[in-house]
């Protein structure tokens, strides 16, 4: 039995070739044209001598060329390695070398760092540049032009006979502990995750339209937006960089029916001073993931826009969707929902034993069709991370009597103050209830006698004021004595990663 992830595009292109697949700015591509470009790019890779199983890295933002190169690689049976477009030259070199990529496709705006990294890696032989103007066939010396590669090759018409367990994509983790590792995801991992998300969890129709402002190089945007929507035959509106006003403007202009984002995006739209000027009445689905959604923000957004944010949970290593608040049951604010079909959750204590019972906390371990093959060329790490099919996530959660899971915190983010375990998520929920707070993060800082002290880092909305003493007093009213922050710092904006997730390691200085 063979399976190839490009089936999600191929079938929709055959069914509705004239249907609009992608919109960016004032330009658009229908399914037939998009599919033809994909097939031609696959032929272009083959013309360069790439063989099935060799890896192709992408350093592309949310532009049509990402989708073309992504599925073109699958048509050529060359696993894809999506990279963060903001990587520096040394980081580019590391990822290319670690993944054994033989080709790199880069957006012209990120060419300088990409080229410097590419030149450091002997094994990466081909540098392909994608340009904002597809009619521009020029390329820097020593590089190839993506548009020219597409135009000069006849399309590959047959999907290669890749196996379900063959690697389709290598997604690099954020590297919060050690250097980034590449999670090997199979054609079946990604196909089934996109199919289940788009066909069953939501479910999507051909007349649905999504706003893609989550980076497509990240698992969330890749599966839940790109792959799920192409599977459903819907339309994707690309926004290369999130901006609240731009996002709301595009949602109104194109009648967007699904918005998927991380909590900071919802904060920004909810608190934008001109939010009331935009009509978001077309929204049918709102999905949150990537970080814990504060309950107060969820309630406020639901009420303001008459939509129900459905929170889910997953990791790059789980393709990514692992659990979700489902449409046919009342959602539980603050919960990551129920494991999706075919996926099992267990909670494990510090001694490595699975624990049972309601409201008992433990580390989430996941088993199922969505779990990666392993980290690329990391046998020792794989032996520790995946035991008897159970993937250790590093996330601490509890399960209620109805089977819903609630994230308590990241295992590595837990603060130990005076011998007591303090979970930042619980404190952050309280802080988001304080008037004027739009962003909050709680971290542990070294303390001579307590081991660690609790510190809150806050960003206030425009025109809002607060003092550290006022915030601490508020927290003392809502939290046990060992939990409330003794240190409060105010900054203009909290540091964020490419998806908008708050980066606590930068706040710690690590």
How does pLDDT run across 22-34, given as a tens digit for each residue? Answer: 999 999 999 999 9
> Which residue range is the domain that position 472 belongs to?
414-507
Can you tell me the distance from the alpha carbon of 284 to that of 277, in angstroms, rounded to the nearest whole number?
A: 19
Strands (E), 279-404: 285-288, 309-314, 321-324, 338-339, 343-348, 354-355, 361-368, 374-375, 386-387, 390-399
Q: With beta carbons less than 8 A apart as the criterion, state whether 431 and 456 touch.
A: yes
Given pLDDT bands bounded at 50, 70 and 90, which one contains residue 176? very low
Which of 142, 161, 187 is at the close of a domain? Answer: 187
Give the mean model confidence (pLDDT) for residues 407-436: 84
Which of 136, 169, 187 is at the close of a domain? Answer: 187
Which of 154, 187, 220 is at the close of a domain? Answer: 187
Within the chain, how many helices (H) and strands (E) appear? Answer: 16, 28
Is 99 inside any structural domain? yes
- Alpha helices by DSSP H, listed for 16-88, are 31-47, 64-75
Percent of the chain with pLDDT over 90: 82
Is 274 inside any structural domain? no
Is 52 inside any structural domain? yes
Structure confidence by residue, pLDDT tens digits, 285-318: 999 998 778 898 899 999 999 999 999 999 999 9
Q: With beta carbons less than 8 A apart as the criterion, state whether 206 and 16 touch.
A: yes
Long-range Cβ contacts of 503-506 (<8 Å, 24+ apart): 504/413, 504/424, 504/441, 504/443, 505/176
Percent of the chain with pLDDT over 70: 98
pTM of the predicted structure, to 2 decimals: 0.87
Structure confidence by residue, pLDDT tens digits, 221-256: 999 999 999 999 999 999 999 999 999 999 999 999
Can you tell me the distance from the alpha carbon of 398 to that of 122, in angstroms, rounded to the nearest whole number?
A: 48
* Cα-based torsion angle of the residue sequence 178, 180, 184, 187 in order, rounded to the nearest 10 degrees: 150
Can you tell me the distance from the alpha carbon of 114 to that of 62, in angstroms, rounded to the nearest whole number?
A: 17
pLDDT at 261: 94
Can you tell me the distance from the alpha carbon of 49 to that of 166, in angstroms, rounded to the nearest whole number?
A: 20
Q: Share the mean pLDDT of the chain.
A: 94
Can you tell me the distance from the alpha carbon of 497 to that of 10, in angstroms, rounded to the nearest whole number?
A: 32
Q: What is the largest CA-CA distance in the chain?
A: 70
pLDDT at 57: 98
Is 298 inside any structural domain? no
Given pLDDT bands bounded at 50, 70 and 90, which one contains residue 479? confident
Give the mean model confidence (pLDDT) for residues 466-489: 92
309-326 burial string, b = 16+ CB within 10 Å, else e?
A: bbbbbbbbbbbbbbbbbb
Q: Domain with 129 in it: what CATH number?
A: 3.40.50.980
Closest C-alpha to 364, from 388, 340, 333, 399: 399
Q: Of 86-90, 143-147, 200-204, which range is least confident? A: 86-90
Give the mean model confidence (pLDDT) for residues 447-453: 80
Given pLDDT bands bounded at 50, 70 and 90, which one contains residue 263? confident
Is 498 inside any structural domain? yes
Given pLDDT bands bounded at 50, 70 and 90, which one contains residue 178? low
DSSP-derived letter for residue 214 is S
* pLDDT winner (highest mean) among 6-20, 164-178, 406-420: 6-20
Query: Is the pLDDT assigned to residue 175 strictly greater than 80?
Result: no
The SS3 of residue 175 is coil
pLDDT at 253: 98
The secondary structure element, H or E, covering residue 10 is helix 7-15
Q: Domain with 498 in it: what CATH number?
A: 3.30.300.30
The domain total for the chain is 2
Is 129 inside any structural domain? yes
Structure confidence by residue, pLDDT tens digits, 107-160: 999 999 999 999 999 999 999 999 999 999 999 999 999 999 999 999 999 999
Is 244 inside any structural domain? no
- Spatial neighbors of 235 by CB under 8 A, at least 6 apart, are 19, 20, 21, 22, 23, 208, 209, 210, 229, 254
Closest C-alpha to 368, from 440, 314, 439: 314
Query: Is the pLDDT assigned to residue 88 strictly greater than 90?
Result: no
Is 93 inside any structural domain? yes
pLDDT at 49: 98
């Amino acid at each position: 039995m063979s399976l190839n992830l490009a089936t999600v595009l191929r079938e929709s292109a055959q069914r509705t070739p004239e249907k609009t697949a992608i919109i960016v700015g004032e330009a658009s591509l229908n399914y037939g044209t998009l599919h033809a470009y994909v097939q031609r790019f696959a032929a272009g890779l083959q013309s360069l001598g790439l063989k099935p199983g060799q890896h192709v890295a992408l350093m592309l933002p949310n532009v049509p060329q990402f989708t073309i190169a992504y599925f073109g690689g699958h048509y050529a049976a060359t696993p894809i390695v999506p990279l963060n477009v903001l990587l520096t030259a040394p980081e580019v070199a590391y990822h290319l070398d670690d993944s054994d990529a033989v080709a790199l496709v880069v957006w012209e705006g990120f060419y300088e760092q990409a080229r410097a990294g590419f030149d450091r890696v002997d094994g990466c032989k081909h540098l392909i540049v994608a340009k904002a103007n597809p009619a521009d066939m020029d390329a820097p010396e020593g590089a190839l032009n993506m548009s020219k590669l597409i135009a000069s090759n006849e399309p590959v018409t047959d999907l290669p006979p890749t196996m379900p367990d063959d690697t389709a994509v290598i997604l690099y983790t954020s590297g919060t502990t050690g250097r980034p590792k590449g999670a090997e995801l199979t054609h079946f991992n990604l196909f089934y995750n996109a199919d289940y998300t788009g066909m069953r969890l939501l479910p999507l129709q051909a007349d649905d339209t999504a706003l893609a402002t989550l980076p497509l190089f990240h698992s969330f945007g890749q599966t839940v937006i790109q792959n799920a929507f192409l599977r459903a035959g819907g339309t994707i509106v690309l926004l290369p960089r999130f901006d609240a006003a731009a996002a709301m403007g595009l949602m109104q202009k194109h009648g967007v029916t699904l918005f998927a984002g991380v909590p900071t995006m919802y904060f920004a739209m909810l608190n934008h001073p001109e939010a009331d000027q935009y009509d978001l009445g077309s929204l049918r689905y709102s999905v949150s993931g990537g970080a814990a959604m504060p309950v107060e923000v969820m309630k406020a957004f639901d009420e303001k826009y008459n939509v129900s944010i459905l929170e889910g949970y997953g990791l790059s290593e789980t393709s990514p969707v692992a659990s979700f608040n489902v449409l046919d049951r009342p959602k539980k604010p603050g919960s990551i929902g129920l494991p999706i079909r075919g996926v099992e959750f267990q909670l494990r204590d510090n001694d490595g034993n699975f624990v049972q019972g309601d409201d008992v906390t433990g580390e989430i371990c996941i088993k199922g069709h969505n779990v990666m093959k392993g980290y690329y060329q990391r046998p020792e790490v794989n032996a520790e991370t995946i035991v008897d099919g159970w993937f250790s996530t590093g996330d601490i959660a509890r399960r209620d009597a109805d089977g819903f899971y609630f994230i308590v915190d990241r295992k590595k983010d837990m603060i130990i103050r005076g011998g007591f375990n303090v979970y930042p998520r619980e404190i952050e929920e309280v802080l988001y209830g304080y008037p004027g707070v739009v962003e909050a993060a709680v971290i542990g800082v070294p303390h001579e006698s307590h081991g660690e002290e609790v510190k809150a880092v806050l960003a206030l909305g425009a025109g809002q004021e607060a003092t550290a003493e006022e915030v601490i007093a508020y927290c003392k009213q809502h939290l046990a004595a060992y939990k409330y922050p003794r240190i409060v710092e105010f900054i203009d904006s909290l540091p964020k990663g490419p998806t908008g997730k708050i980066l606590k390691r930068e706040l710690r200085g690590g």
